C-alpha cells in the first residue's frame, strides 16, 4: 500500500493536503473451453500457483467428458 499527496477543495488562500490511498488488487483467471461441445469452465483466483491450477483442473474434470479434447488458458 502506498499513498500519494492530493489536493482537496478548501477556502481560497489555504492549501490543505490530503493523503490519497492507492491500492491495487490482482486476480487471475483460469479458463478452458471446448468449442465443439459448447462447454466452458473457469475460475477466478487471488493467486496463480499450483494449488490454483489444481482447482482449475478439478473444475474442468467435473464438467467435461473423458475424451481429452480441451483448450485451456491462463490470463
Tell me how many domains the chain contains. 1
Helical residues (DSSP H) of 1-75, grouped into ranges: 50-63
Indicate the pTM of the whole model: 0.54
Enclosing domain of residue 8 = 2-74
C-alpha cell recorded at residue 52: 490454483
- Looking at residue 39, what DSSP letter applies? E
Contact 27, 45 (CB under 8 A): yes
C-alpha cell recorded at residue 13: 488562500
Label residue 16 by pLDDT band (50, 70, 90).
confident
Q: Is the pLDDT of residue 5 over 70?
A: no
pLDDT the model gives residue 54: 94
Taking only the tens place, the pLDDT of each residue in 53-70 is 999 999 888 876 656 555
Burial of 30 (0-12, 13-18, 19+ CB in 10 A): buried
pLDDT the model gives residue 47: 93
**Mean pLDDT, rounded, for 6-33:** 79
Amino acid at each position: 500500500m502506498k499513498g500519494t499527496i492530493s489536493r482537496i477543495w478548501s477556502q481560497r488562500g489555504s492549501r490543505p493536503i490530503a493523503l490519497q490511498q492507492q491500492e491495487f488488487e490482482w486476480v487471475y483467471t483460469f479458463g478452458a473451453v471446448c468449442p465443439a461441445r459448447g462447454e466452458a469452465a473457469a475460475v477466478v483466483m487471488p493467486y496463480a500457483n499450483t494449488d490454483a491450477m489444481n482447482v482449475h483442473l478439478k473444475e474442468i474434470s467435473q464438467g467435461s467428458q473423458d475424451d481429452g479434447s480441451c483448450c485451456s488458458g491462463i490470463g
